[in-house]
């Protein structure tokens, strides 16, 4: 069996995610050899930029150079945080597998070990986040909060709590768990309270469409439930026509033969918000996603998206 070259960003979390893929593949292919090739992306080259103020779409900032390396046969496959991927995959590439999903929720990491909820934070507490989706939902939950821009890898962001005198920061629980930092989590936001980003917590394996041998190697690690849930979320995003530079989120889950789809969209300036949650059978997930998009667009979501299309200046 040939040696696979895995393309990855160079952050500690990205490398850990590539290692998780190597471990998963090893279970099905004990003799498989693989190596990780680090590729710097546009998002990595502008670590201090506030993503909500960048002129280009945020979607693709963390994947473009990796996909180019894949198309040029410099690597055999790529591991992405699914939430970073645009809904349209470049011609010649395909998502061959989605690994079992980690916790999709957002997590609060606080400066004080005594604080274990958002409501326990003091009035006008200062929280850091680089996500417009999180920023808007925090403002809806606690209008008094002072929200500061936050960039960098997980370790850098945690250090900024002290460096920038923050009361706390919001991170994806999945990243903290994968890095063994679950003890840093002070509070996990229920999906109904803070709707996650599309695909949050899931890892996608991208390959060249015509590379059948790599497809056969990675297909066994695909998790059908995660695949179906995250692809439904991406169908919702495609129908809405937004990206991660829009305050919008969706989460699909399957439990005991019942599927649940929750979504929201908001106006970044007006803070008007539309939400929906529905249930059905697992095989109806795609339709639940499309119904959610239609509902939100019919209840002011179209105007909220227009509000987001104007360059947002917080």
In this prediction, what percent of the chain has a pLDDT beyond 70? 90
- Give the model confidence (pLDDT) of 262-272 as tens digits: 999 999 888 99
Task: Indicate the DSSP class of residue 274.
Answer: E
Helix segments in 143-263, DSSP class H = 154-163, 173-178, 212-218, 224-240
Query: What burial class does residue 30 get, using C-beta atoms within 10 Å of its C-beta: 0-12 exposed, 13-18 middle, 19+ buried?
Result: exposed
Are 8 and 95 found together in one domain?
yes
- For residue 182, give both structure tokens: 């679950």
Q: For the chain, give percent helix, strand, coil, nearest 5.
A: 40, 20, 40
Instruction: For the beta carbon of residue 4, count every other beta carbon within 10 angstroms.
Output: 22
Tell the residue number behind the tokens 């106006």, with chain if given: 267
Q: What is the pLDDT of residues 182-211, one digit of tens each?
A: 999 999 999 999 999 999 999 999 999 999
Are 211 and 68 contained in the same domain? Answer: yes
Say if residue 279 is in the same domain as residue 213. Answer: no
CATH number, domain containing residue 206: 3.40.190.10
Residue-wise pLDDT for 46-81, tens only, equals: 555 444 444 344 455 678 899 999 999 999 999 999
Residue 79 falls inside a structural domain: yes
pLDDT in tens, 283-313: 999 999 999 999 999 999 999 988 877 644 4
Residue 84 is a catalytic residue:
yes
20 and 93 part of one domain: yes
Domain count, the chain: 3
Q: How far apart are the first and last CA of the chain?
A: 52
Global pTM reads 0.90
Domain at 249, CATH number:
3.30.160.40
Mean pLDDT value of segment 218-247:
90
Span 107-116, average pLDDT: 95
Average pLDDT of every residue of the chain: 91
Residue 177 burial (C-beta neighbours within 10 Å; 0-12, 13-18, 19+): middle
93 is a domain residue = yes
Beta-carbon contacts of 48 under 8 Å, excluding residues fewer than 6 positions away, are: 151
Which residue out of 84, 103, 167, 245 is catalytically annotated? 84
């Amino acid at each position: 069996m040939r040696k696979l070259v895995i393309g990855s960003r160079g952050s500690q979390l990205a490398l850990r995610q590539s290692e998780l893929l190597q471990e998963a593949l090893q279970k099905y292919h004990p003799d498989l050899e693989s190596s990780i090739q680090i590729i710097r992306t546009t998002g990595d080259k502008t670590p201090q930029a506030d993503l909500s103020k960048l002129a280009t779409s945020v979607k693709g900032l963390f994947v473009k150079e990796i996909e180019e390396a894949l198309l040029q046969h410099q690597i055999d496959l790529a591991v992405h945080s699914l939430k970073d991927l645009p809904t349209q995959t470049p011609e010649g590439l395909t998502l061959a597998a989605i690994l079992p999903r980690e916790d999709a929720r957002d997590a609060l990491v606080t400066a004080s070990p005594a604080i274990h909820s958002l409501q326990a934070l003091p009035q006008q507490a200062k929280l850091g986040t680089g996500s417009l989706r999180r920023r808007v939902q925090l403002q809806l939950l606690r209008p008094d909060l002072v929200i500061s821009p936050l960039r960098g890898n997980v370790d850098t962001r945690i250090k900024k709590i002290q460096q920038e005198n923050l009361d706390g920061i919001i991170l994806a629980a999945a990243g903290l768990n994968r890095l063994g930092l679950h003890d840093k989590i002070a509070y996990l936001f229920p999906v109904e309270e803070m709707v996650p980003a599309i695909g949050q917590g899931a890892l996608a394996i991208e390959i060249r469409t015509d590379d059948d041998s790599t497809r056969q190697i990675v297909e066994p690690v695909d998790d059908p439930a995660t695949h179906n849930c995250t692809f439904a979320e991406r169908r919702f995003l495609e129908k809405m026509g937004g990206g991660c530079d829009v305050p919008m989120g969706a989460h699909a889950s399957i439990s005991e033969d019942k599927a649940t789809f929750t979504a929201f969209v908001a106006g970044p300036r007006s803070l008007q918000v539309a939400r929906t949650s529905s249930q059905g059978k697992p095989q109806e997930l795609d339709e639940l996603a499309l119904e959610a998009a239609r509902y939100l667009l019919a209840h002011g979501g179209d105007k909220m998206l227009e509000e987001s299309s104007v360059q947002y200046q917080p």
